[in-house]
Amino acid sequence: MKSLLQNQEENVRRSLPMFVKFCVAQSHLGLDGFLFELPGEEFGATPEDVGNGVRRLLKVLSDADPAGVHCMDKSYVSKRGWCFEFDGCTFFVTTFAPCYPDTHSRFNFDSENSFVLLQPEESFLRHNVGTDTPHTDWENPRTVRDQIRAAYRRAGRPYSIRDTLFYPPAHDIVKPLGGDPEQDVVAWWDHRGDSN
């Protein structure tokens, strides 16, 4: 009998043809994201569990990268300069899971499962989100980015905004439950001690 982890990896492999098509068509069709669902029982109880699922998902995709970049094999996943890349597309990766309370930016609205959203960075340009900045105009949000941040805050789910633009993107893929995002990093890319 196959383990849940083997089944998850097989499911990701089965979705590869559609993900490749997405990468080819997203620019022309204005597609904004590709969503993977992970079983919450195995990959949603804690941020570390979410990270385990994310690592496995991104590794399967990376291993099958038609462009041959294999970004998950890079020695600098946890450093500035790395981003998830597949078939020539770079992605903003974010997660939502049952372990996050309704006051957290990664709250999944009481779904039993976790979700990994791969958003082409090109999508930010299409929607005129603007350049990243550590500053937000909370009182009069003019940019799309400020409007998004203000909407999250009004909904009671503010997300932490670093005071610098120079940080490793991998540190924000799986967020800690609380605390300082610069100190309480969920090292999802690190598989040491993983028995599977």
Q: What is the pTM for the complete model shown? A: 0.91
pLDDT in tens, 28-61: 999 999 999 999 999 999 999 999 999 999 999 9
Q: Residue 186 pLDDT > 60, yes or no?
A: yes
40-44-49-50 Cα dihedral, nearest 10 degrees: 100
pLDDT in tens, 123-162: 999 988 878 888 889 899 988 999 999 999 999 998 788 8
pLDDT at 28: 95
